[in-house]
Amino acid sequence: MITETNSPENNKPAKKTIFSGVQPSGNLTIGNYLGAIKNWTVLQDEYNCIYCVVDMHAITVRQVPADLRRRTYETLALYIAAGLDPKSNILFVQSHVPAHAVLSWDLGCFTMYGELGRMTQFKDKSRKNADNINAGLFTYPVLMAADILLYQTDLVPVGIDQRQHLELARDIAIRFNNLYSPTFTVPEGYIPETGMKIMSLADPTKKMSKSDSNPNASVGILDSRDVIISKMRRAVTDSGSEVRYGEGKDGINNLINIYCCFTGKTREETEKEFEGKGYGEFKAAVGETVADGLSSLREEYSKLIGDKQYLDEIMRSGAEKAAAIARKTITKVHRKIGYVSL
Ligand code: TYM
């Protein structure tokens, strides 16, 4: 687990606060599940948890409107199906709480051009979307900082790819606190060792991504049992045969990590279990394990996704609760900046 130091408390409830989110920009993968959502469910009793479907982030890349709307519902249903209780957690959609955009503007004036230019995700996405390098793609980390800082967040459970953005959010918070007076909690990252970077099944040197155009590169959380098993069987591995974690064995390392995340076993235990067995047998076992591990989530999801009225209610009440917390931070920030309050 990688954590970073936190700042002194300021106006905080007794339980610490968690904030995290997923973009509804594609079919969610087991990377999103193992790097983020699965850990959210583990943390929900200990913390005040706020989980957001970050639709405003998704439009930094062109989206088909009907698909974005459908995926926003799907992502919310998936949060609940994964085990997040909408009664004890705040689940909401980012665009329903305008304070995110408001704070994003304010914080943008405390973020340097050079800092944003150094973001590796900006460079990657600019390369992939060369015909649409819009300002939102550039200022995206500021919106993410606003998401986190609005709720005086202590802990942000994410995969390793979000670490640089999280560090920027910390820098912005510290800068603002030093310029004025303590205003924002400085958040820590919660990055799981084994699930922090699940790799593509087609090219295990690349991160598994929901926006990958190759359907065999990723396993969707909602893929059917047969599809999961067949994708795992076809996962690219090296020419060896020993199930052992090691350098130059990105494909096998990735499958071992996935297996460990779903079974709770260590790498050593996994290696021992598959001693003398070949890659074929191991891949089949990983497929079965992942399919079993996701089967109750899939069942729960299929019950929820048809009930739009229920999902609307969750969105509405989540947005109200989130907006009430966000308002306090916005009021404080605006007073400190020098805006006139009416
Ligand atoms: P997004 O939508 O790309 O991914 C959602 C979460 O899944 C994690 N993740 C992975 N973890 C392990 N292996 C992978 N292959 C993998 N792919 C994705 C991500 O690290 C993330 O935790 N900017 C964020 C969303 C966001 C956010 C926030 C997160 C917006 N505001 C505030 C936390 C706090 C993003 O694009 O995630």
pTM summary value: 0.94
Distance CA(160)–CA(228), nearest Å, equals 24
Q: Decide whether any atom of ligand 1 lies within 6 Å of the 140 Cβ.
A: no
User: Strands across the sheet with 17-22, in order?
Assistant: 90-93, 48-53, 17-22, 155-157, 188-190
Q: Decide whether any atom of ligand 1 lies within 6 Å of the 57 Cβ.
A: yes
Strands (E), the chain: 17-22, 48-53, 90-93, 155-157, 188-190
Residue closest to 13 by CA, chosen among 133, 152, 125 = 152
Is domain 225-303 in CATH 3.30.1380.10, yes or no? no
DSSP string, 65-79: HHHHHHHHHHHHHHH
Q: Residue 48, Cβ neighbours under 10 Å: how many?
A: 21
pLDDT of residue 2: 46
Instruction: For residue 125, give both structure tokens.
Output: 């996405």
pLDDT of residue 14: 79
Residue closest to 112 by CA, chosen among 141, 70, 73, 72 = 141
Distance 275 CA to ligand 1 centre (A): 34
Question: Fold for domain 17-191+307-337?
Answer: Rossmann fold (3.40.50)
pLDDT of residue 340: 97
pLDDT of residue 1: 47
Q: Where does CATH 3.40.50.620 sit in the chain?
A: 17-191+307-337
Verify whether residue 210 is a known catalytic residue.
yes
Q: Where does CATH 1.10.240.10 sit in the chain?
A: 225-303
Which ligand 1 atom sits nearest the alpha carbon of residue 144? 31
pLDDT of residue 13: 62
Q: Decide whether any atom of ligand 1 lies within 6 Å of the 22 Cβ.
A: yes
Phi, then psi, of 176 in degrees rounded to 5: -65, -45
pLDDT of residue 11: 54
Weakly modelled stretches of the chain, pLDDT under 50: 1-10
Distance CA(239)–CA(236), nearest Å, equals 10
